[in-house]
Amino acid sequence: MNRRKIVAGNWKMNKSLSEALELARDIDAYAGEGPLSGVTKIVFPPSPFLHEISKVFRNGTVLVGAQNCHTHESGAYTGEVSAAMLSSVGCKYVLVGHSERRQYFNETSEQLLQKMQQALHHGLKPVYCVGETLDERKSGRHFEVVKQQLTEVLGQFKLADMQEVIVAYEPVWAIGTGETATSAQAQEMHAYIRTVLAGMFNKETADGLHVLYGGSCNAQNARELFACADVDGGLIGGASLKADDFRQIMASF
């Protein structure tokens, strides 16, 4: 199965507009380089910067995504941003179900499902994030937890929708902690995610699905993680805030 290599940077709630633009211009300056040409590059800047950042990447070598979208189409939801708005400012992707959203904003599977539906309806490719906490891994429930996250949300979609969906496996205990999953742990879970998807849809869909690893992935460990058969790339937090580190991660395939 010929899957693309993908490296995505989740900038989270970091940087001023001028700093974000500087990072974007630095990335744009190397994004077209030959050795990186086989890598799909995506950045997820904070929402107030999306329009300006999209303009920096207007030649399309780097694609832009949002870190979140609202569950509803439009209306009286003060402070929220709709999928349609994101699409209108040049976004092609949106993160759904990042563990920080699940944890700090109590996002439920029901809401994540609505966000995914909004995203797909407005032509955004959702990057659906799954992953277990440290307690869940220690108690041996990590497969069960990830399976539930997959079935409750992705299980509601039609086969055709799955072409547009990317899954990111991000063990919560590895996010921002400096403690990354071993390549064996990542491979094991990524293979498991495909097994679950094969059961929900079919083997072809599972084999074609892009599954990214996230959680303290950096320029030092990316090569080993990306070498795993079922790891199609990374969703990078901290290390995506430095243009050089991000480039090295992209060059790790």
Task: Name the residues that contact ligand PGA, by CB under 6 A.
Answer: 10, 170, 175-176, 214-217, 235-239
Q: Catalytic site residue 170?
A: yes
Which structure tokens are listed for 162?
Answer: 């799955």
The string over 44-59, giving b where at least 16 C-beta atoms fall within 10 Å of a residue's C-beta and e elsewhere, is bbbbebbbebbebbee
Minimum CB separation of residue 49 from ligand PGA in Å reads 17
SS3 of 129, please? strand
Q: Is 98 a catalytic residue?
A: yes
**Three-state secondary-structure class, residue 234:** strand
Comparing every residue's Cβ against ligand PGA, the nearest one is: 237
Specify the residue, 24 or 127, whose C-beta has the smaller distance to ligand PGA.
127
Q: In the complex, what is the shortest distance from the CB of residue 115 to ligand PGA, in angstroms, rounded to a whole number?
A: 17
> HEC string of 179-231?
CCCCHHHHHHHHHHHHHHHHHHCCHHHHHHCEEEEECCCCCCCHHHHHCCCCC
Grouping H, G, I as helix, E, B as strand and the rest as coil, residue 13 is: coil
Nearer CB in complex with ligand PGA: 63/217: 217
Give me the least distance between CB of 58 and ligand PGA, in Å please. 25
- Tell me the two tokens of residue 194: 């495909």
70, 107, 170, 210: which is the annotated catalytic residue?
170
**Tokens, residue 171:** 């063990």
Choose, from 98, 122, 190, 210, the residue flagged as catalytic: 98
Is residue 21 classed as helix, strand or coil in its secondary structure? helix
**Among residues 97 and 238, whose Cβ is nearest to ligand PGA?**
238
End-to-end, the C-alpha distance of the chain in Å comes to 17
- Rounded to a whole number of angstroms, the minimum distance from the CB of residue 121 to ligand PGA is 24
With respect to ligand PGA, which residue has the nearer C-beta, 123 or 176? 176
Give min distance, CB of 176 to ligand PGA, in A. Answer: 4
Residue 94 or 201: the one with the smaller Cβ distance to ligand PGA is 94
Contact 37, 60 (CB under 8 A): no
To the nearest 10°, report the CA torsion of 240, 63, 222, 47.
Answer: 30
Active site residues: 98, 170
